[in-house]
Structure 1
Amino acid sequence: MIAWSIEAAIASGCFDRVVVSTDDPEISAVAREWGGLVPFSRPAALADDHTGIMPVVRHAIEWHVDQGLNPEHVCCIYPTAPLLEPSVLTDAYERMVRSGSDFCFGVASYGHPIQRALRLDAKGGVSMFSTEHSLTRSQDLEPAFHDAGQFCWGTSAAFVDGRSPFLQKSVAVVLPRHRVVDIDTPEDWLLAEALHMALALKAET
């Protein structure tokens, strides 16, 4: 899975170094096989299931600074983004630099208006999150977007300071929904496989 992210990063031409942060020997071997660098082992304190992305990126930046390397811009690419296109990374970087923003990341629109979202209780009963929109037409509601879970460009200073991409000065690149699958569940995996096969078939025709 991680090979797709490494290949996209290399193909984009954006990076002087494509570094994989991990403490796992198998992942390290795969990363090196596909052209990634694994110059350090991620500390155990940052390798559990609850560690956020920001501390991991901050550690990688600080490691490079200790080695005499001082990157101005850094991109965190998630290892579960097989549909990420290299050109998107390039476009996002250029947008961030032009705008002078702290961050730039990919977003996708929700397939249905979030204002008409429903909740289910323990007995299967239905209620609306926003009852004021119970009679509003879907096409009259403001579109909403979510983090695509593929990448996040940022300045080194923003990452090291722990600024949030969702609260600070950020810009976004809107991605088509058929290019976005954040793989967390077996169902996500099946959807990613189906989309990947469909995109590959389209490329051949």
Structure 2
Amino acid sequence: MLNGKRVVSLTPARGGSKSIPYKNLCDLGGKPLLAWPVDVAFATPEIDEVFVSTDDEKIGTVAADLGAKIHWRPDELATDSALVVDAVRHFFSQQQQEGKAPDIIVLLEATSPFRTPEMILNCLRRMLDEELDSIATFHSAEINPERCWKIEQGIPKPFIDGAIPWKPRQELSAAYQLNGAVYAFRADRLPTNGPNILFGKIGAEIISKDKVIDIDDRKDLIIANAILES
């Protein structure tokens, strides 16, 4: 609870990952990847309940063993093309029907395991202090968009018209990317359609890129384990 607001965390964890089968259950630092968002949610006193959204019995069993509550999502919300926000809408609707609708949902993706309770709390505090509708964590972009290219009919061109890819790094415009560590938003203001999780009055919590990793494939998982070992 934060200033009288009921806060819940939600971690989406479908069973059909193609890059790594059962990616959410892969070992990272001696525990399943799914345990990282669940554990940090329990370590954040402002979060009242911890949920995992899944379609898969095996993942559901692991999540329950970790102490999380399970939101069972329908199969059509667990396909490769399904949007995370649709699973969030389904979760919120279900909570409303049960008379337990949260004021704030904190979305914690399992593929960004190195978040801390401080990151979550910073986002929650800023939501209230700045009267935000939604907020997410960002870090400086791995590749500045002014240095990106597009190739049309075999001919490379700057991705941004008029950009000069050769400019010194110090002269490039500051650019940031979402990292999936923390999303937080006022649940009752979530748009009823569309792909956006960030909406309304939006805040950006900037964190160091050294503190985040997005695990998409086996190479990322190896790197994440190496970071922990070092």
Match of 1:63 among 94, 99, 115: 94
SS state at 1:132 partner: coil
Residue 188 of structure 2 corresponds to 157
| Counterpart contact for 1:178–1:195, Cα < 8 Å | no
In 2, Cα distance between equivalents of 1:156 and 1:174: 22
- Unaligned segments of structure 1, at least 5 residues: 199-205
**Which has a greater percent of strand?**
2
1:23 matched to 2:55: yes
Match of 1:36 among 68, 72, 82: 68
Residue 74 of structure 1 corresponds to 105
Residue 39 of structure 2 corresponds to 7
Match of 1:103 among 134, 154, 163: 134
Identity percentage of aligned residues: 24
| Counterpart contact for 1:57–1:159, Cα < 8 Å | no
SS state at 1:18 partner: strand
Change (3 A) 1:132 1:64: closer
**Which has a greater percent of helix?**
1
Cα displacement string for residues 67-102 of structure 1 (whole angstroms, at most 9, x for unaligned residues) = 111211111111212111111111111111111111
Change (3 A) 1:183 1:122: farther
* Deviation of 1:126 (Å): 4.6
Residue 185 of structure 1 corresponds to 217
- Unaligned segments of structure 2, at least 5 residues: 1-32
In 1, Cα distance between equivalents of 2:82 and 2:165: 39
Cα displacement string for residues 47-76 of structure 1 (whole angstroms, at most 9, x for unaligned residues) = 211111111111111111111112111111
Match of 2:124 among 76, 93, 98: 93
Equivalent residues in 2 for 1:113-152 (5 A)?
113-119=144-150, 126-130=156-160, 131-152=162-183
SS state at 2:60 partner: helix
In 2, Cα distance between equivalents of 1:8 and 1:101: 23
In 1, Cα distance between equivalents of 2:75 and 2:201: 31
Cα displacement string for residues 133-165 of structure 1 (whole angstroms, at most 9, x for unaligned residues) = 144322012110011122210001232534734
In 1, Cα distance between equivalents of 2:51 and 2:104: 14
Task: Name the count of aligned residue pairs.
Answer: 196
* Deviation of 1:113 (Å): 2.6
Calculate the aligned-residue CA RMSD, in Å: 2.1
* Deviation of 1:15 (Å): 1.3
What amino acid is aligned across from residue 47 of structure 1 in structure 2?
A: A
Q: Normalising by structure 1, report the TM-score.
A: 0.86
